Structure 1
Amino acid sequence: MNIVISDDYQDCVRHLAAFDLLKGHDVTIYNDTLTDLDALVARFQPAEALVLIRERTPITAELLERLPNLKVISQTGGGAAHVDLDACRRRGITVMTGRGSPYAAAELTWGLILSAMRHLPQEVANLKAGGWQRTLGTGLKGRTLGIFGYGKIGSLVARYGKAFEMDVLVWGREGTRQRALEDGLRVAQSQEDLFQSADVLSLHLRLNSDTRGIVTAEHLALMKPEALLVNTSRAPLVASGALFNALKAGRPGRAAVDVFEEEPAPHDPLLTLPNCVATPHLGYVEQDGYELYFGDAFTNLIAFINGEPVASLTA
């Protein structure tokens, strides 16, 4: 089968153990993301199968109409919000997903918290430039860690917070709040209370129509001047432009982000701010996680090729 894998930024897929599953097939791997429709059509037109790396390339109805050879899409991870499933159903294209893992994202979240609170990027740069101890960091013990969304990743970050002897405060949907109470954690009185109380506030919500823009400029303005907002989930959880303006105004005083409104994001205005630590969507980009994601994606694809029953989002 003619298989196309796009958006392999690190050129790492061919080096995974899971890649052996595709032996005997015609596999083409691209290491960049295209946004122009005609260029995407030219790249994907030969493909009978697409293997998608998370949400890096949207698969729209307009694109699908120009891919007559496409039979199947095998998605890494468990989400497919970037794929027009209705259009796939109309064209008889099977769409399959796999599993995700919360650990890499939770670990990166904690790395960003420590980096921002202790000014690690600045101090590394200072040291390499010949400087010594230019900043005064902020410790975590005894401070309030706000968790907005207590799912798989949020609950792990809460556990890390407890290990650092932080006071964990949770907010989210009713089920979220109930699980937090059962785990012995405090629940905020409201979303506003969470933003007012947290010294570190980490977002762990799925992006959907209910959560898009759920963090407004008014919520950010409630945060303490010395507080840190962390977003390793999805940028559109925060109203467009609100975080940039809030950081310029000093509430919150700092942010650490791994996600952007448009990705790749080499020119995002957040990158110009000295009080924002940023990484290029690395939350899930980790060796064990990639073996899991691609192991599932390739196993599902081989099952489809062999005519075996598969779980499909378009069935």
Structure 2
Amino acid sequence: MRVTVLDDYQGIVAKLDAARMLDGIGAELNVLTTHIDDEAALIDALRGTHCLVLIRERSSITAAVIAALPELKLIVQTGRLSGCIDLEACKAHGVVVRDGTGNPIAPAELTWALVLAASRRVVPYAVRLDAGVWQRSEDRIENEQLGRSLHGRTLGVWAHGKIGSRVAAFGKAFGMKVVVHGREGSRASAEQAGHTFMADRRAFFACADVLSLHLRLNDDTRHIVTLEDLMAMPRGSLLVNTSRAELIAPGVLLAALATGRPAQAALDVFEDEPSGASLYAGHPQVLATPHLGFVERDTYESYFGEAFAHVRRFIQG
């Protein structure tokens, strides 16, 4: 049976220890390393596929794709199901769908890496050092500015769940005052951890020197962050989003950055990835990374260990 993995940008899946789970069961592993935007081209690339493995929500599997692939019998989503598979079409065509579990550790670590890198201006300093320029972060000296340490500043965490709670703990370890906003579940867990819970949303934005979003994306949270929210942030503040780009209303982050509130944004997620990242890549106030939250060896071994276990059970009946 042909097992196809989509969007393996680093070409790493076949090298994972987890890939050995497909040995000896008649599985032909077919790994595609380039994202395919065009639906017709995607259908052509998937012809002959019996088992399809998705890396998170990098590709959408629509009803048209499912209908055009009569040999497709199993779709496995690494991580939790996230709306990128047409489940009704799968049911109608007898395609089994399976998913896995999430890993909060890697995205929490990546979030904190962005907080540190943006606050201390690590990337622009490193880029200019590569060009032979010592201790400068800007091309023009009149634009030069120093980074900021985190100790004594206020970290705002919206949603104190599995990832947000880890980010809050990092902030506390760095000597930051941690303020949490969210629903009652966030209140209970935040107060248990010794953090301040702030129910007033505008006051939450206004107090945060660094504000990190960790909400789930659903109908209630889509575009929940408004221009007014962002412009309430202090001058010199940093907004971090490693959760979902669609939490922020369209266009408002760029508009807010233009006013200096917040002064910076650190982003790992974008609408319409990967093309949507072009709006932010190279922006002088934005540190942008290409959705790396889960992209590290241990998470991949875990994700594909679960995914290929589903494939193995399916093939073996």
**TM-score under structure 2 length normalisation:** 0.94
SS in 1 for 2:220: coil
What are the within-5 Å matches in structure 2 for residues 116-127 of structure 1? 116-127=118-129
Matching residue of 1:19 = 19
Matching residue of 1:212 = 222
Cα distance in 1 for partners of 2:163, 2:275 equals: 24
Matching residue of 2:159 = 149
SS in 1 for 2:37: coil
Which of 75, 78, 90 in structure 2 is aligned with 1:76?
78
Indicate conservation of the 8 Å contact 2:120/2:149, yes or no. yes
Indicate conservation of the 8 Å contact 2:182/2:199, yes or no. no
Deviation sequence 1:189-220 (CA, Å, 0-9, x none): 32211111100000111111111101111111
Indicate conservation of the 8 Å contact 1:80/1:97, yes or no. no
- What is the CA-CA distance between 1:267 and the residue it aligns to? 5.6
Cα distance in 1 for partners of 2:38, 2:264 equals: 35
- What is the CA-CA distance between 1:291 and the residue it aligns to? 0.2
Matching residue of 2:102 = 100
Matching residue of 1:179 = 189
Deviation sequence 1:136-157 (CA, Å, 0-9, x none): 1101011100001111000000
Matching residue of 1:31 = 33
Q: Name segments (4+ residues, structure 1) moved above 3 Å.
A: none
Matching residue of 1:242 = 252
What are the within-5 Å matches in structure 2 for residues 226-237 of structure 1? 226-237=236-247
Cα distance in 1 for partners of 2:231, 2:13 equals: 42
SS in 2 for 1:11: coil
The amino acid across from 1:58 in the alignment is S
List alignment gaps of at least 5 residues for structure 2: 137-144
Cα distance in 2 for partners of 1:128, 1:20 equals: 40
**TM-score under structure 1 length normalisation:** 0.95
Instruction: Indicate how the Cα distance of structure 1 residues 266 and 235 shifts in structure 2: closer, same or farther if over 3 A, else same.
Output: closer
Matching residue of 1:112 = 114
SS in 1 for 2:108: helix
- What is the CA-CA distance between 1:265 and the residue it aligns to? 3.2
Indicate conservation of the 8 Å contact 1:7/1:31, yes or no. yes
SS in 1 for 2:216: coil
Matching residue of 1:305 = 315
Cα distance in 2 for partners of 1:86, 1:261 equals: 24
Between 220-229 and 188-197, the greater mean CA deviation after superposition: 188-197
Indicate conservation of the 8 Å contact 2:270/2:276, yes or no. no
Cα distance in 2 for partners of 1:73, 1:280 equals: 25
Cα distance in 1 for partners of 2:117, 2:271 equals: 22
List alignment gaps of at least 5 residues for structure 1: 308-315
Over the matched positions of the two proteins, sequence identity in percent amounts to 49
Considering only aligned residues, what root-mean-square deviation do their CA atoms show, in Å?
Answer: 1.2
Matching residue of 2:268 = 258
SS in 2 for 1:108: helix
Structure of greater relative contact order (alpha carbons < 8 Å, 6+ residues apart) = 1
Matching residue of 2:213 = 203
Between 186-195 and 5-14, the greater mean CA deviation after superposition: 186-195
The amino acid across from 1:51 in the alignment is V
The amino acid across from 1:188 in the alignment is M
Matching residue of 1:271 = 281
